Amino acid sequence: MDLRQMEVVVSVADTGGFTAAARRLHVVQSAVSSTVRALERELGTPLFDRTTHRVSLTPAGEAFVPAARATLRAAELAREAVDAVRGQLRGRVTVGTMQGVWAGLHHALAALRAEHPGVVVQLRQAAVADIRQALREGTVDLAVVALDRQQQRGLTTRLLAHEDMVLLAAPRRVLAGATPNGEVRLPDIAQLPLVDFTPGWAIRYAVDRAFRAAGVDRSTTFEVNDIGAAAELVRNDLGVCIMPKSIADRFPDLPQYRFDRHAPSWKIMVVRPAGEAPPAVAALLRHIT
């Protein structure tokens, strides 16, 4: 068994097929198929179930792929360590992020590129639950996300910002119960059509937690997975939406209202697996503030 065989199997698992894996690896499909068959013979068990319509992992494949990823990453880290000793920092850093927290990250990426042009950064945008799982699996090296206390377990974290959320409404909507200084109450908001983000989003976690703390039940009218779509629904007065103020500020035409109590909030932090950071990851961390 060698690293190339592992790389091929992981590519088939990631892309869901032999043809797609061949395109990713820049080889012919027959080379991918023969490599997988040779490894399956060596292991004495199939790694994939093959049908005319799809390719899926067998139980053996489900066990093999995470171990293969870890091995490939360890080999990559070994190369990076040697490059660092030679003063030529190279390697790859996979960064997880979620919609709404991009604003400060691009400065860090630009600084890293200027300092270490040999380091390649891959961005992976996903829901916070998926990013946390990717950190545990080792497919993401670090992430800039919002996690609650329970989600932080087993991870190394550093706080970047703590931010309250606000309510966005259409300019023509009159909010019952709003105070002259622009404050609203969660019980009043619960009576309005609400634009919510999908479960798994950090914003949704925070909003759900705030309504529970206030002892208020609510129902969702619209459920979206895109910040721009949420703002457009609000702009057309189809509902109101709760989101962090830094995100709400991107839509200056939409009025903002603060909450008098139990304001939803989130903490943005840089997160990575526990242990010493690899050289390329450590270089990026120095620029994330």
**pTM greater than 0.75 (yes/no):** no
Mean pLDDT of 57-69: 91
pLDDT of residue 135: 87
Burial zone of 162 (CB within 10 Å; 0-12 exposed, 13-18 middle, 19+ buried)? exposed
Distance CA 4, CA 11 (A): 11
**Cα angle: 93, vertex 86, 270; to 5 degrees:** 25
Distance CA 21, CA 50 (A): 14
pLDDT of residue 87: 67
pLDDT of residue 91: 79
CA 113 → CA 92, 116, 139, 210, distances in Å? 12, 5, 21, 40
Rg over alpha carbons for the chain, rounded to the nearest Å, is 23
CA 131 → CA 73, 125, 156, 272, 283, distances in Å? 18, 8, 14, 10, 21
pLDDT of residue 104: 67
pLDDT of residue 146: 87
Give 155's strand partners.
273
User: Please, are residues 268 and 196 in contact by the beta-carbon 8 Å criterion?
Assistant: no
Share of the chain above pLDDT 90, in %: 41
Task: Please write the tens of the pLDDT for every residue from 65-86.
Answer: 989 988 888 887 787 777 777 6
Distance CA 275, CA 268 (A): 21
User: Please, are residues 90 and 118 in contact by the beta-carbon 8 Å criterion?
Assistant: yes
Question: Is 162's pLDDT higher than 80?
Answer: yes
User: Please, are residues 97 and 125 in contact by the beta-carbon 8 Å criterion?
Assistant: yes
Task: Please write the tens of the pLDDT for every residue from 112-128.
Answer: 999 888 888 988 888 88
